[in-house]
Amino acid sequence: MSHATQGKVSASAVRPMASGRVFNFSAGPATMPLEVLEQLQADLLDLRGGGAGILEISHRGELFEKILQESEDAFRKVGNISQDYAVLFLPAGATQQFGMLPLNFLADGASADYPDTGVWTSKAIADGKEVGKINEIWKGADFGYRRTPRAGELKTTPGSTYLHYCSNNTVWGTRWVAPPQPAAGAWLARDASSDIYAEPLDLKGCAFLYASGQKNLGPSGMTMVVIRRDLLKAPVRKLPSMLRYDEHAKAESRLNTPATFGMHAVGVMCQWILRQGGLVEMQSRAKTRSDLVLAAIRNSNGFWKANAESECQSFVNVLFHAANPKLEPLFLKEAANAGLAALAGHKVTGGMRASMYNAMPVEGAKALADVMLDFAQRNG
């Protein structure tokens, strides 16, 4: 089986638990809270007693206006986002932002700084280079992508327009301990696709943040963009309207017929986060879950090895390998039999990856840690 196939929740390979659901460690689309799924299920058939479901009502109608406002309000409330920033719900995933960001802001003759911390930043760099001058100011490949830059290691470029970084590297399971400092006069752009709302949001010094939905926020195909209002002006070059942030902001994320279901789902997910106790609680759960899995690695007498260096270990993506990689397919099979799904690592890393976003119960991490230690004991 290829790694790509192993990563999927396959109905035949994974034995669900008595609840009928599995602990789903997929990196995204990822597990969602049952409560949220049930709310969305009901809203598909009948939204607020209007006799029509969320997929059926006009994006310009009064009811959807209210739904979208509620989603934005809940999203702002969770992250404590002030009106200094616009919040946009945009299509085409986080990948679309790799191109839109430089298209809007990187003028001819100017440059932007991009530390490369693995796969997603490499893609952002490649797309950025299609538009203008990208300074690759740090190369994670030199460190096997096992860590992010240390304090003082980054050399920014004087006169650069912005610095783009990815705060949590989903594929390699590393995170930045503190945000990078852009060059004087430059602003910070953050890809927060996998760590948004898994911890309190700090927008200090950050002018532009984007995150795809399918990890901590719900549906795929939907990207949240948080953009400081002073950046909402005509782009540095002529662009079609769908590629312009200022146009999306003017049209309140409805330049075209948007992904209405996704916009609603993000709101329902944010309301769930608020009911759970907000981001302090989300952070505490994320730490508990990752600590459980990391303790299993530490206590395995070298049977399991973590990928990331410990100071920049991600709280939401834990990558690990078996010291004897030949045992990994058997482990994945046994884990699937125990109802632990989608643990195969990304195709570029191999090994295992436990993605544990907001909706992963702490019991899921506990079950994984138990299975890891039991497997190590029997096969070590």
156 binds ligand PLP (CB under 6 A): no
93 binds ligand PLP (CB under 6 A): yes
| Per-residue DSSP letter, 16 | P
Could you tell me whether strands 85-91 and 162-166 are parallel, antiparallel, or unpaired per DSSP bridges? unpaired
Considering 127, 176, 195, 215, which one is annotated as catalytic? 215
Q: What part of residues 24-63 is at the interface with ligand PLP (CB under 6 A)?
A: 28
Q: Which CB, 120 or 375, lies closer to ligand PLP?
A: 120
Classify each residue of 240-255 as buried b or exposed e, where b means 16 or more C-beta atoms within 10 Å of its C-beta: eeeebbbbbbeebbbb
3-class SS of residue 1: coil
The amino acid sitting at 332 is L
271 binds ligand PLP (CB under 6 A): no
Long-range interactions of 272-281: CB distance < 8 A, separation 24+: 272/33, 272/35, 272/36, 273/78, 273/197, 273/358, 274/74, 274/77, 274/78, 278/78, 279/78, 279/79, 279/197, 279/198, 279/199, 279/200, 279/201, 280/200
Binding mask 109-128 for ligand PLP (x = CB under 6 A): -----------x--------
Contacts of 8 (CB under 8 A, 6+ apart): 26, 342
User: Rounded to the nearest whole angstrom, what is the least distance from the CB of residue 211 to ligand PLP in the complex?
Assistant: 8
Is residue 133 annotated as a catalytic residue, yes or no? no
166 binds ligand PLP (CB under 6 A): yes
Q: How far apart are CA 178 and CA 164, in angstroms?
A: 14
Q: Which CB, 222 or 338, lies closer to ligand PLP?
A: 222
94 binds ligand PLP (CB under 6 A): yes
Considering 191, 195, 272, 304, which one is annotated as catalytic? 191
Is residue 305 annotated as a catalytic residue, yes or no? no
Which span (42-50, 93-101, 172-180, 255-263) binds ligand PLP, by CB under 6 A? 93-101
Sole binder of ligand PLP in the list 170, 260, 271, 313 (CB under 6 A)? 170
148 binds ligand PLP (CB under 6 A): no
Is residue 172 annotated as a catalytic residue, yes or no? no
Q: How far apart are CA 16 and CA 255, in angstroms?
A: 42
**Residues identified as active-site:** 120, 191, 215
Binding site for ligand PLP (CB under 6 A): 28, 93-95, 120, 166, 170, 191, 193-194, 212
